[in-house]
Amino acid sequence: MKTSILDRWGIKPEELSEIIESNPSLRGLLMGYVAEYKFQKLYLQDKRIENIFKPDSHDRTEKGDWVITYKGVEISIQVKSLQTNTIEKSQGQYSAKFQCDASDRRKVTLPNGQSLETTCLLVGEFDLLAVNLYGFREKWKFAFAKNRDLPRSRYKKYTSEQPQFLIATNIAIALPLQPPFEAEPFRLLDAIVECKKSR
């Protein structure tokens, strides 16, 4: 059995906690990777899911944190986390925002043939969004939405036609969940499969 990374680095759990808490950018980075790991453990162990694949995070052509096969159809899943500084609680209800964009600016070609440089993810660039809700109640729960149901960009410098192809980079979410978000992924996965098979 391998020794833990804490033993190899010679630091104590409380020291690691102190390092993470005092470096918000590190905390956000770690939360992203932990969320991907927790998502896999909670949802990708289901017997209906096959061929689980994690694309290289540096591969700009593959916009998904996980790629799976579900009912014979390949589906890409993007995992995002709440922005801690946006979380609000009022009368038992929670609200926050999460960032839903590419890691960097890149040139994309829209379905209408136009090209532009953007950090926006494209409509149809991945299939299912999983939002890590740990920041609400410190429990590993996720909310799910189909890519095509997510709000579009409102950036004023885009033409009137371009936003229909571009997902908003900052999206609001609340608990209790409201459309397009749902607490379980499988009804949405079924809908994605049906849509892909009908093309």
Backbone angles phi, psi at 50, to 5 degrees: -130, 170
Quick one: pLDDT at residue 131? 98
Q: Is the peptide bond before 176 cis (omega within 30 degrees of 0)?
A: yes
Specify whether the CB–CB gap between 55 and 64 falls below 8 A: yes
Q: Which domains does the chain have, with CATH numbers?
A: 11-197 (3.40.1350.10)
Residue 67, SS3 per DSSP: strand
Check residue 64 and give its pLDDT. 83
Query: Which structure tokens are listed for 143?
Result: 């909310």
- The amino acid at residue 92 is G
Take residue 46 and report the two structure tokens written for it: 């289901």
User: Whole-angstrom Cα distance, residue 100 to residue 80?
Assistant: 7
CA nearest to 32, candidates 83, 94, 75:
83
Tokens of 171: 């999206």
With contact defined as beta carbons under 8 Å apart, do 141 and 165 qualify? no
pLDDT in tens, 33-77: 999 999 999 999 999 999 999 987 655 556 689 999 999 999 999
Q: Please tell me the distance from the alpha carbon of residue 51 to that of residue 66, in angstroms, as a whole number.
A: 10
For 42-56, b/e burial (b = at least 16 CB within 10 A) is: ebeeeeebeeeeeee
Residue 27 phi, psi dihedral angles, 5° rounding: -60, -45
Q: Whole-angstrom Cα distance, residue 175 to residue 182?
A: 10
Instruction: Mark residue 159 as left, alpha or beta (left: phi above 0; alpha: psi -120 to 50; beta: remaining).
Output: beta
Nearest to 145, CA basis, from 114, 167, 164, 160: 167
- Per 3-state DSSP, what percentage of the chain is helix, strand, and coil (rounded to 5)? 30, 35, 35
Q: Which residues of the chain have pLDDT under 50?
A: none
Confidence at residue 58, expressed as pLDDT on a 0 to 100 scale: 58
